[in-house]
Amino acid sequence: MEHNPLVKPFDTPFESAPFSIIRPEHFVPALQENIKTALEEIEAIVSQKEVPTFINTIEALEQSGSFIGRNSSLLFNLNSAETSEALQKVTQQAAPLLTQFQNDVRLNTALFQRIKEVYENQAAFELTTEQKTLLEKEYKGFVRNGALLDEQAKTSLRTIDTELAQLSLTFGEHVLADTQAYTLHITDSEKLKGLPEALIEMAKSTAEQKQLEGWVFTLDYPSYVPFMTYAENRALRKEMSLAFGKRGFQNNAQNNEAIVLKIIHLRQQRALLLGYASHAAFVLEERMAQSEENVKHFLDQLREKAYPAASVEWQSLEAYAQEMYSWDKVEKWDTAYLAEKIKQRDYELDEQKLKVYFPLEKVVNGLFSIVEDLFGLRFKKSTQIDPYHSEVDVYEVSKNGSFYALLYTDFFPRPGKRNGAWMTKFRPQKEGQRPHISIVCNFTRPTQKLPSLLSFQEVTTLFHEFGHALHGMLANTKYSSLSGTSVYWDFVELPSQLMENWCYQPEALTRFAKHYQTDELIPEEMIAKIKKAAFFHQGLQTLRQLSFGYLDLSYHSQTAPHIKNIKAHEVEQISPLQFTPDTAENCLSTSFSHIFQGGYAAGYYSYKWAEVLDADAFELFLEKGIFNAETAQAFETHILSKGGTEHPMVLYKRFRGKEPDPGALLRRAGLV
């Protein structure tokens, strides 16, 4: 144990994780030791003779188990971004240990009695607003995790939580395995027709790595998305689309159908045990939306506005398919391809001609420049900090000349890294401790001939994740459990979605949209086309997001236990919002990682909910100026630095001076 780096503070610059000496076999012994220490700390809180106070009970509990938080963050983050068979095995071993620990704390009757006494007598203490929020969060956290249950029910809850933790991990492992199991190997150059040069180059490089002739395409987003958008070979688009949609839905060891059914049944059992009608009711009690009825009303309102626009857009798509290709029916593997053709026709905007103005390095530097002007952060690449992979860059982030955060950036797909993009942290912020933040993406790789050239969607993805990173880096609270992104789930997307707005502003684009060869600024007419095209297919895109929201909610409502067939249920939920015919061999739910592996269960609506907030917030930036220091400072002061220290609507109204206007989203999307 003395040689295990995870059982002590890190003796490194800024106490950064020494990834090069951390091994999979270190985690379980370290966590066992960490848990033992934390339980001793809990026992010290419970057994003290002093009457319960905020300091000796709530604050003491907040400060306990810090190594558990640090080491579990390292483990689960590595399992997402740089996993291996050994790490997956360790994560499966660690998950029940951590779940048991959480239950040992949350179901500790003596500890809860002390918390309850402080909660019921809080008027006797002179608490700050943040301390009141922490007290309420702890009290509710115990109640919502079974503190009021009898012993038999507590035992049932422990069993459910342990099983759910393992099922969630297995679900993710299955999706990753199916994603990586498929490749499209092409040896006939004729089949590459329509594909961009950069994608062909990347596919050739992938083939060479696999010691194959020709070109290899994968289900990783930088390969899959452009293939589906540009490949003229309809049969190959179909093959790729079916492979992508089959993940977790094949007759193999990775099939997730039974796991999905088990997860939704266990979540419902857990909710009933705790006195809630459904898992959605349990989750939404602690959200801005508050109830399933409110979420449905919100989704229905957007659906009412989006459906007519989507219908017109779909008719245009079908007409184009008939006119140009004589297709009687548009299938799901045709939509991205046709949409790109129509966009080029109607807006004269070719994504491939755009990409040459978005080399990754220039976009990152431009983003840093924008953030420096808005929030005063400066970024310096570090050679002292140990990254977890050779492709990861680490930046020392300073503010007003002082160290403020570490930022890890991980941009390219590779084996052992799940698809998508996310922000996370290796260390949270709290009083006396600055955070270590990471953003992980899957962008187009550089090749021998070309640097990494981003699609415009990838540019907005980078800005999105950086908005989350700002929430973490600019956090300035006393307690880590209220810091940064530790906010209501339907508020957490506000900073990320707000940052996307700068991608459409000429004043911002001229800072980074420069030709990778000539350094020439993106032409003004191209910027105008980007802004104009921002409204493109907003109806269809909105319906797609809404379909995910409805599907998610249906899996966590009171009727969820009646679901017997995942595929049939999904078709019933999505078909009213979908114009393409159903594909029998595909199923979205079996790879819907947001809700079965991530934290979006009964919360996928949050993306659209936060869009209302971000559209309303950005209208203030547009009114005052997108680089207006006073507006940026207000956003930092009232939103980014405050984390979850107060109710999000209170924080938002302090920033904006009023409640958000839902019309702002509809105006921006061109739906009114």
Q: Are residues 56 and 101 in the same domain?
A: yes
Check residue 672 and give its pLDDT. Answer: 75
**Lookup: tokens for 147:** 């503190």
Q: Could you count the other beta carbons within 10 Å of the beta carbon of residue 535? A: 14
CA distance readout (Å), 669 to 208, 450, 458, 531, 535: 43, 34, 19, 11, 6
Q: 43 pLDDT exceeds 90?
A: yes
Q: Are residues 142 and 187 in the same domain?
A: no
Chain centre to alpha carbon of residue 158: 27
Check residue 351 and give its pLDDT. Answer: 85
Minimal CA–CA distance to 412: which of 555, 266, 221, 574?
221
Q: Are residues 136 and 26 in the same domain?
A: yes
Residues whose CB is less than 8 angstroms from the CB of residue 373 and which lie 6 or more positions away in sequence, other chains included: 627
* Helix/strand/coil percent split, the chain, to 5: 60, 5, 35
Nearest 5°: phi and psi at 425?
A: -135, 145
- The amino acid present at 5, given as its one-letter code, is P
Domain CATH number, residue 45: 1.20.1050.40
Q: Answer for the pair 418, 220: CB distance below 8 angstroms, yes or no.
A: no
Q: 275 pLDDT exceeds 90?
A: yes
Minimal CA–CA distance to 632: which of 470, 485, 428?
470
Check residue 240 and give its pLDDT. Answer: 98
Q: For residue 445, what is the DSSP state?
A: P
Nearest 5°: phi and psi at 72?
A: -70, -35
Q: Which domain holds residue 29?
A: 5-148
Q: Are residues 113 and 201 in the same domain?
A: no
Q: Answer for the pair 624, 630: CB distance below 8 angstroms, yes or no.
A: yes
Give 349's pLDDT tier (boundaries 50, 70, 90): confident
Structural domain count of the chain:
2
Average pLDDT score over residue span 132-141: 97
The string over 400-410, giving b where at least 16 C-beta atoms fall within 10 Å of a residue's C-beta and e elsewhere, is eeeebbbbbbb
Check residue 667 and give its pLDDT. Answer: 87
Q: Are residues 86 and 199 in the same domain?
A: no
The position carrying tokens 């066992």 is 32
**pLDDT digit string, tens, across residues 398-453:** 999 999 999 999 999 999 999 999 999 999 999 999 999 999 999 988 988 899 99
- Reduced to 3 states (helix: H, G, I; strand: E, B; else coil), residue 185 is strand
232 is catalytic: no
Least confident of 264-278, 497-511, 526-540, 635-649: 526-540
Q: Is 390 part of a structural domain of the chain? A: no
The position carrying tokens 């659209």 is 608
Q: Are residues 110 and 59 in the same domain?
A: yes
Q: Is 112 part of a structural domain of the chain? A: yes
Q: Is 326 part of a structural domain of the chain? A: no
CA atoms within 13 A on the CB side of 583: 19
Check residue 1 and give its pLDDT. Answer: 80
- Threshold 0.85, pTM exceeds: yes
How is the beta sheet containing 377-381 ordered, strand by strand? 377-381, 393-399, 402-410, 436-440, 422-427
Average pLDDT score over residue span 202-212: 95
The domain boundary, picked from 148, 166, 200, lies at: 148
- The amino acid present at 47, given as its one-letter code, is S
Residues whose CB is less than 8 angstroms from the CB of residue 244 and which lie 6 or more positions away in sequence, other chains included: 219, 224
Q: Answer for the pair 425, 472: CB distance below 8 angstroms, yes or no.
A: yes
Q: Above pLDDT 70, what percent of the chain? A: 100
Q: Are residues 28 and 98 in the same domain?
A: yes
Check residue 649 and give its pLDDT. Answer: 95
Q: Are residues 140 and 196 in the same domain?
A: no
Residues whose CB is less than 8 angstroms from the CB of residue 620 and which lie 6 or more positions away in sequence, other chains included: 631, 656
Which one of the listed residues 173, 465, 493, 611 is annotated catalytic? 465
Check residue 662 and give its pLDDT. Answer: 86
Helix axes 221-230, 197-209, angle to 10 degrees: 130
Q: Is 19 part of a structural domain of the chain? A: yes
DSSP characters over 192-237: GTT--HHHHHHHHHHHHHTT-SSEEEESSHHHHHHHHHH---HHHH
**Lookup: tokens for 422:** 């996310």
Q: Strands 422-427, 377-381: parallel, antiparallel or unpaired by DSSP?
A: unpaired
Q: Is 164 part of a structural domain of the chain? A: no
Check residue 383 and give its pLDDT. Answer: 94
Q: Answer for the pair 472, 123: CB distance below 8 angstroms, yes or no.
A: no
Average pLDDT score over residue span 294-303: 95
DSSP characters over 386-400: --SSTT-EEEEEEET
Q: Is 595 part of a structural domain of the chain? A: no
Average pLDDT score over residue span 627-646: 98
Give pairs for 398-401: CB < 8 Å, separation 24+.
399/375, 400/376
**pLDDT digit string, tens, across residues 238-260:** 999 999 999 999 999 999 999 99
- Reduced to 3 states (helix: H, G, I; strand: E, B; else coil), residue 584 is coil
Check residue 491 and give its pLDDT. Answer: 94
CA distance readout (Å), 492 to 147, 270, 382, 610: 27, 25, 29, 8
Check residue 47 and give its pLDDT. Answer: 97
Q: Are residues 125 and 231 in the same domain?
A: no
| Cα–Cα distance, 213 to 310 (Å, whole number) | 43
Residues whose CB is less than 8 angstroms from the CB of residue 209 and which lie 6 or more positions away in sequence, other chains included: none
CA dihedral 6, 12, 16, 17 (to 10 degrees): -30
Q: Is 468 part of a structural domain of the chain? A: no
Q: Are residues 137 and 190 in the same domain?
A: no
Q: What is the average pLDDT value for the chain, to the nearest integer?
A: 96
**pLDDT digit string, tens, across residues 560-609:** 999 999 999 999 999 999 999 999 999 999 999 999 998 899 999 999 99
| Cα–Cα distance, 171 to 592 (Å, whole number) | 9
- Sign of dihedral through CA atoms 656, 660, 663, 667? positive
Give 631's pLDDT tier (boundaries 50, 70, 90): very high
Q: For residue 58, what is the DSSP state?
A: I
Q: Are residues 111 and 205 in the same domain?
A: no
The domain boundary, picked from 225, 245, 265, lies at: 245
Q: Is 138 part of a structural domain of the chain? A: yes
Check residue 375 and give its pLDDT. Answer: 98
Chain centre to alpha carbon of residue 283: 18
| Cα–Cα distance, 42 to 61 (Å, whole number) | 7
DSSP characters over 499-521: HHGGGG-HHHHTTT-B-TTT-PB
Q: Are residues 29 and 83 in the same domain?
A: yes
The domain boundary, picked from 125, 148, 171, lies at: 148
**Lookup: tokens for 586:** 């595909």
Check residue 115 and give its pLDDT. Answer: 98
